[in-house]
């Protein structure tokens, strides 16, 4: 059970007033708020323990290194990876995907090869592959989705051929909310010996992710969307693949020995962690994971499902409101347009009432193009949101709908 009244006490930002109204924060898919324990972890580390990791023999350095490696173990358990060496800290989902596109691409993608992504990808899971294709003279192929926002995986067989080098697909869409059948996609890809990268930025905040069960080759997510600080994220990769890939960046910590003639690289995962990583925020990511585990992942899933069902039902009843994304399996977000009211107008009027929603392309222009739109409004919910907040959102949407008769 989620005790939302007590949970909200952990997120002091939720007490903020916006233009005199209580903040209703419905922009969680962009970034989630931070509980006090995460803020405290960061503050305490800077106050009492800050020292660069891995390179010192002194007390504080060793202490930070230990905490950093403990955070890696927490991440491993959180997504059920087999080995700690398969967990690489990055700057976020974008950093993780760029690491794979560059490093895997360098090793395995050549002229004439093909990469498959879906039509519902965030720009972060399109542009790095486009950049790779430009460098290597390769091409991108697209898995389309239908008008309900369901991926046409029935077309996968016709898209795959002997030149396909990797499939990169989102676990959950940041616009449609659709939870894709990634397990099925992975099984299909593996039957052709093709590895799969899963963008988990929107799935990890809302559910249990088990990379062993999925059997994915790469899995990526961002700390800031799961209540951790910004600037820290995770790349999971199967050891067998990561070992065959060259380092993404060169610098300190990722080497074994350096001479001007030849450099050898560190073992995994440090081979992919060049320079001074964001170790304080990695430790705070561990604190965020502790917080999620304490709240209960099953509790979170159940409560957010109820929020989504309630929001979908109430919002559908607002005259002239159209929801984009009607898949059976969704994470707790609703993208919509109200009559032919510009998305920015809707967003700005809601803002004046203290309601924070996201507007614009939602970093998924090809997805919006599918519907012939240049922008949408998105309300996204997590376990500190309430049913009352959804009521207030809907009351205001009704008023906006009347304003633009």
Give the integer Cα–Cα distance in Å for 334 and 336.
6
State yes or no: residue 99 binds ligand PLP (CB under 6 A).
no
Q: DSSP letter at 144?
A: -
The CB-of-197 to ligand PLP minimum distance in angstroms stands at: 11
To which H or E segment does residue 221 belong?
A: strand 218-222
CA angle 328, 365, 324 (to 5 degrees): 30
State yes or no: residue 199 binds ligand PLP (CB under 6 A).
yes
Binding map of ligand PLP across residues 15-54, x = CB under 6 A, - = no contact: ---------------x------------------------
Binder to ligand PLP among 45, 88, 92, 102 (CB under 6 A)? 92
Binding to ligand PLP, residues 174-193 (CB under 6 A)? 174
Neighbouring C-beta atoms of residue 344, cutoff 10 Å: 12
131 or 392, CB closer to ligand PLP? Answer: 131
State yes or no: residue 207 binds ligand PLP (CB under 6 A).
no
Binder to ligand PLP among 122, 238, 314, 370 (CB under 6 A)? 122
Question: Nearest to residue 163, comparing CAs of 126, 194, 196, 129?
Answer: 194
230 or 316, CB closer to ligand PLP? Answer: 230
Binding to ligand PLP, residues 131-170 (CB under 6 A)? 170
- Residue 203 CB partners (closer than 8 Å, separation 6+): 170, 171, 172, 179, 209, 221, 331
The β-bridge relationship of strands 218-222 and 233-237 is antiparallel
Give the integer Cα–Cα distance in Å for 113 and 229.
37
Size of the site for ligand PLP (CB under 6 A): 14
Binder to ligand PLP among 33, 85, 94, 118 (CB under 6 A)? 94
Burial of 236 (C-beta count, 10 Å sphere; 0-12/13-18/19+): buried
- Which is catalytic among the residues 133, 216, 363, 394? 363
State yes or no: residue 90 binds ligand PLP (CB under 6 A).
no
Q: Is 37 a catalytic residue?
A: no
Backbone angles phi, psi at 145, to 5 degrees: -120, 160
Binder to ligand PLP among 28, 85, 102, 222 (CB under 6 A)? 222
The answer to whether the CB of 231 falls within 8 A of the CB of 281 is: yes
The CB-of-366 to ligand PLP minimum distance in angstroms stands at: 13
Q: Which residues are catalytic?
A: 363
Binding site for ligand PLP (CB under 6 A): 30, 92-94, 122, 124-125, 170, 174, 199, 201-202, 222, 363
């Amino acid at each position: 059970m989620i005790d939302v009244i007590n949970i909200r006490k952990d997120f002091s930002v939720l007490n903020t007033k916006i233009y005199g109204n209580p903040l209703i924060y419905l922009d969680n898919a962009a970034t989630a708020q931070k509980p006090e324990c995460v803020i405290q972890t960061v503050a305490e580390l800077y106050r009492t323990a800050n020292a660069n990791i891995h390179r010192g023999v002194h007390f504080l350095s060793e202490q930070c290194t230990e905490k950093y490696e403990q955070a890696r173990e927490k991440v491993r358990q959180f997504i059920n990876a087999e080995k700690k060496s398969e967990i690489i800290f990055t700057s976020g989902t974008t950093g993780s995907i760029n690491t794979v596109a560059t490093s895997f691409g360098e090793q395995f993608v050549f002229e004439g090869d093909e990469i498959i992504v879906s039509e519902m990808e965030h720009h972060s899971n399109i542009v790095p592959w486009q950049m790779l294709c430009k460098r290597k003279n390769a091409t991108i192929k697209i898995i389309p989705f239908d008008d309900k926002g369901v991926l046409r995986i029935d077309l996968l067989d016709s898209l795959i051929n002997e030149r396909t080098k990797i499939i990169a697909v989102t676990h959950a869409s940041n616009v449609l909310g659709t939870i894709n059948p990634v397990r099925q996609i992975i099984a299909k890809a593996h039957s052709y010996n093709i590895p799969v990268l899963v963008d988990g930025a929107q799935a990890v905040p809302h559910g249990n992710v088990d990379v062993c069960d999925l059997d994915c080759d790469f899995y990526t997510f961002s700390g800031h969307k799961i209540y951790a600080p910004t600037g820290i994220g995770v790349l999971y990769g199967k050891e067998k693949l990561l070992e065959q890939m060259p380092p993404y960046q060169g610098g300190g910590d990722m080497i074994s020995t350096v001479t001007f003639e030849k450099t050898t690289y560190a073992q995994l995962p440090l081979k992919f962690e060049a320079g001074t990583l964001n170790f304080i925020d990695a430790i705070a990511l561990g604190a965020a994971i502790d917080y999620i585990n304490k709240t209960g992942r099953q509790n979170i899933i159940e409560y957010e499902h109820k929020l989504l069902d309630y929001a979908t039902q109430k919002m559908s009843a607002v005259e002239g409101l159209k929801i984009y994304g009607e898949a059976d399996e969704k994470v707790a977000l609703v993208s919509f347009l109200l009559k032919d009211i510009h998305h920015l107008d809707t967003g700005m009027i809601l803002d004046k009432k203290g309601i924070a929603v996201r507007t614009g392309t939602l970093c998924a222009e090809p997805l919006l193009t599918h519907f012939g739109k240049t922008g949408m409004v998105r309300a996204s919910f997590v376990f500190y949101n309430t049913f009352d907040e959804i009521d207030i959102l809907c009351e205001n949407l009704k008023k906006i709908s009347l304003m633009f008769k």
